[in-house]
Chains A and B, each alone.
Chain A
Amino acid sequence: MGEQVGAEKKQKAEWELRLYVAGQTPNAIAAFANLKRICEEHLAGKYSIEVVDLLENPKLAAGDQIIALPTLVRKLPPPMRQIIGDLSDTERVLVGLDLRPPS
């Protein structure tokens, strides 16, 4: 599977995030950078990020109902949420992750 990024890999993170991309596209690179920044700001030490490159594992796209790319999936905590786009709109990312009530 994709590379594991985040604080404690060995123990189960409270926030389990999965970022779907297809190759090193500008959107994918931007999304990853934005995600890393937001997580460090708001979820430092409590998160894990798994990056799934669908070009390598195309069959994984169906599992999480991926249509748009990049897509960030919040696996944990439930409920599962999907955030699409390059995550440049930090406010909306925080809303999407339930870290901030929708304005």
Chain B
Amino acid sequence: MKLERRVEEGVGSRLPKSPTGIRGLDEITQGGLPAGRSTLVCGNAGCGKTLLSMEFLVHGAREYSEPGVFLGFEETVEDLAANVASLGFDLKGLMAEGKLVVDHVYIERSEIEETGAYDLEGLFVRLGHAIDTIGARRVVLDTLEALFSGLPNPHILRAELRRLFRWLKQRGVTAVITGESGASTLTRYGIEEYVSDCVIVLDHRVAEQVSTRRLHVMKYRGSLHGTNEYPFMIDEHGIVVLPVTSLGLEHEGLEERIPTGVSQLDAMLGGEGYYRGSSVLVSGTAGTGKTSIAAHFADATCRRGERCLYFLFEESSSQFLRNMRSIGLDLKPWSGQGLLRFYAARPTLYGLEGHLATALKEINAFDPSVVIVDPISAFQGSGRPTEVKAMLIRLVDYLKSRGITMLLTNLTSAATAIEHTEVEISSLIDTWLLLREIELSGERNRGLYVIKSRGTAHSNQIREFLLTDNGVQLVEAYVGLEGVLTGSARLAQEAREQAQVLELEQELERSQASLERKRRSLESQLETLRSELAANEAESERLLRQREERHERLAGYRSAMERSRRVDHDVDEETR
């Protein structure tokens, strides 16, 4: 016995726990199963008991260096090894390395004759030997209750089981005992009364043709634990339990903004786009362009060199790529460069928890900065509205906790109020874009509103939403006395306005021309006056010259007279 690993139960000390390594379960149990004690895992046939217990051992052996013993009463070693090989568990390898002992206990009632008092010391010896051989810290007894159907005299069995659990505790091993659910008791033979430390109930239900596995920690003495029923699934790596990852709202509000891929939409959201790490909902009726908005966002993300994970629940990725090419968005190169990854599946492929788990797995594997789910309304058929909502809360919470920006699209059916999201998640959403049809003058056109956008100064206006060969264009819708005009009505209105402008311009031109004419006529008048003036001036000059000439001629005449009269020149007379 390895005393150094024995459980110390000091007052106030935290209960030591043995991590299961099962994704999600350690979070619910806040660290794992009670170390050095026994845990009962019960549920119906096929609910995953054996797998859970086997994972507990394999993870223990591989990741926590705690060797384990698996005592199976139902399946042979070969069957067990084959069953879990698909999950990547190499039982034979672990057995060869001395990290695991798998023993099959075969009991056939018809081959056993009871002839008097007996005990289960043989089981103790086998278990003890296996534990000692590899120094096991973990023990699994898979469907211990098989003893009840295999051996006579339940009174002896009950006494011996009680002794077994005491013995396991003394050995200080962490044990998992599985049991089939009984009609009204947790286990068929009521062995829960011997295992009082921790009880985990597994369940496998089919509701509306969708099967959902659930896990519930019914009891965990001395420890806090999540008390809800948690969906879980079995994927190619084993069991994944899906706890609500963040019970509080502690995610960081990031200041960074990232473009939407449609510049006019960026402008509507205060000029910079969405907040990084926020949740964006694009809702609208069929054919309003939700996917196009999402594709633009994906394109913008990849353009920045960031990774985008695109969940398609209504079309295949090649169909999506083709459709987006028709509006001038070629996303294929991004897909080729590994920046864009698609995950396309029918919503009915798995139950809700299956989708969530797959989504989380894909997200963990790809580590994107943007996740797009197109559309979330596809999940309506997969569960009750509360379940769908719970799943989406988990997804949104998870993405927020990782700072991943998400864009969800939602198909609103025409019959319901347009602001109604079928799965009622609007309260989870930071930015909500509503695409709606505007019916006017016998046309259907698309309009886009920003219903809300937490933390941004966003436009309160409706924009007309056009799908062109060059992607999405947002056009300012005509808003005037006649209301919001879109499509050809808007074009007609715009044409009318343009005609008015033209008319004004022409009028201006006309008045300018007449002014010019007036100016010209005034100028010509000015010219006439000027020439008249010049003529006057010439005339006056001529008169002056005439006068001088006359004077000269007169003077000459006088002197000639004087000369002829031979009189003296009389100056006074001459000047008079």
Contact = CB atoms under 8 A, between A and B. Distances in A.
B481 interface: no
Given A22-B121, A82-B112, 12 more contacts: A27-B116, A61-B126, A62-B126, A65-B106, A67-B151, A68-B123, A68-B151, A69-B121, A70-B118, A80-B111, A84-B112, A84-B118
Given A67-B147, A67-B151, A58 B116 contact: no
A58 B117 contact: no
B116 A85 contact: yes
A88 B118 CA distance: 11
B147 to A, nearest CB: 7
A85 B117 contact: yes
Nearest to B153: A85
Contacts, number: 103
B147 A61 contact: no
A89 interface: yes
Contacts of A61: 122, 125-126, 129
A92 B117 CA distance: 13
A36 interface: no
Interface residues of B, number: 25
A46 interface: no
What 8 A-B pairs are tightest by C-beta distance, nearest first?
A96-B113, A85-B116, A58-B129, A88-B116, A66-B122, A86-B116, A85-B115, A69-B121
Contacts of B117: 27, 30, 85-86, 88
A31 to B, nearest CB: 8
A79 B122 CA distance: 22
Contact of B125 (A22, A30, A81, A82): A22
Nearest to B111: A82
A82 B113 contact: yes
Given A54-B121, A58-B125, A84-B151, A67 B111 contact: no
B119 interface: yes
Contacts of B116: 27, 30-31, 34, 85-89
A68 B103 CA distance: 16
B115 A89 contact: yes
A49 to B, nearest CB: 15
A29 to B, nearest CB: 12
Interface in B111-145: 111-126, 128-129
A48 interface: no
Nearest to B107: A67
B371 interface: no
Contacts of B103: 62
A7 interface: no
A54 B106 contact: no
B436 to A, nearest CB: 71
Given A65-B107, A67-B151, A92 B129 contact: no
8 contacts: A61-B122, A67-B147, A82-B112, A84-B115, A89-B114, A89-B116, A92-B115, A93-B113
A30 B124 CA distance: 21
B105 interface: yes
Contacts of B106: 65
Contacts of A92: 113-115
A93 B120 contact: no
B113 A86 contact: no
Contacts of A84: 112-115, 118, 151
Residue in A20, A65, A82 with the greatest tally of chain B CB atoms within 10 Å: A65
A27 B118 contact: yes
A55 interface: yes
A83 B151 CA distance: 11
Q: Considering residues B106, B113, B151, which has the most beta carbons from chain A within 10 angstroms of its beta carbon?
A: B113
Interface in B80-121: 103, 105-107, 111-121
Interface in B329-369: none
B126 A66 contact: yes
A30 to B, nearest CB: 8
A47 B1 CA distance: 40
Nearest to A71: B122
A95 to B, nearest CB: 6
Contacts of A81: 111, 113
Contacts of B129: 58-59, 61
A64 to B, nearest CB: 9
Contacts of A79: 111
